[in-house]
Amino acid sequence: MNDKKKPCNCVECDFKDIVFSYLDEGSIEELCLHKEEQFFRKGEVINHEGEKISNFKYLKSGLVKLYRRTPSGEEQIITITRPFEFVSNMSIFSEERYQYSVSALEDSEVCVVQLDFIKELFLRNGAFAMGLLSRISTINDKIIRQTLDIRQKNLVGRVAFVLLYFTNEIFNSRVFDLPVSRKEIADYIGMSTANVIRTLSEFRKEEIIRVFGKTIEVVDINKLEIISKRG
């Protein structure tokens, strides 16, 4: 990880329009004194399960996964997400330590703000507090919906669901480099790696997708949607 602190640009940051728009210019300038941007390479852990929570973090660029370890050491992937999500902050107001780990699936940039300062802003600015809590609640609801949607599907429906998620929400493209391994997909949807590999192979034979190494092309998105819905 590159810990070099970058110049603060909170006033021009896209994230300002989402939550920090509730802050006046003076508070934003003050925020810059308590914030730094950290760069994480693909595979690096942004925060560990069980680590003490001391900062508020949000993803500025890149792609990350939120997960936890089972007693046997296996990963349980909870969600995969793009920028402007608060996946590392699900426990910051209720727990002293992270309940989940977050790691970079591709090179990612994270804005880190001292948690004490965020709590101070809560006390000073009710609109900011409501805006931030509303945003975190929206993310939590999204994760719960995804989990329930996946659980009610069979194997082929789950794999189709994940491919559509990457197509429509992560990359907004029918051609993309798969950012996770087959095993990680299996961990995400609660199936075996062998079943995921077999299902992807069946989708390829049925010309629903094309596979070129790590690159996936969704050829028949309508059929994939039907499989996901009926699954």
- Asked if the structure places residue 1 within a domain, the reply is no
Q: What is the DSSP letter of 84?
A: T
- Asked if the structure places residue 3 within a domain, the reply is no
What is the per-residue pLDDT across 176-188, written as a single tens digit (0 to 9) for each? 999 999 999 999 9
- Total number of domains constituting the chain: 2
State the Cα–Cα distance between residues 119 and 66, nearest whole angstrom: 24
Q: Residue 35: which CATH number?
A: 2.60.120.10
Q: Are residues 66 and 137 in the same domain?
A: yes
SS3 label, residue 127: helix
- Asked if the structure places residue 169 within a domain, the reply is yes
Q: Are residues 18 and 40 in the same domain?
A: yes
Q: Residue 215: which CATH number?
A: 1.10.10.10
- Asked if the structure places residue 4 within a domain, the reply is no
Q: Are residues 182 and 98 in the same domain?
A: no
Domain extent, residue 186, equals 153-230
What is the per-residue pLDDT across 40-69, written as a single tens digit (0 to 9) for each? 999 999 999 999 998 888 888 899 999 998
Give the residue among 98, 113, 110, 19 at the shortest CA–CA distance from 66.
98
Dig out the tokens for 226 from the structure: 């039907």
State the Cα–Cα distance between residues 120 and 103, nearest whole angstrom: 28
Residue 7's pLDDT band, with cuts at 50, 70 and 90, is low
Q: Record the pTM.
A: 0.82
Q: Are residues 157 and 81 in the same domain?
A: no
Q: Are residues 165 and 135 in the same domain?
A: no
Q: What length is written for the chain?
A: 231
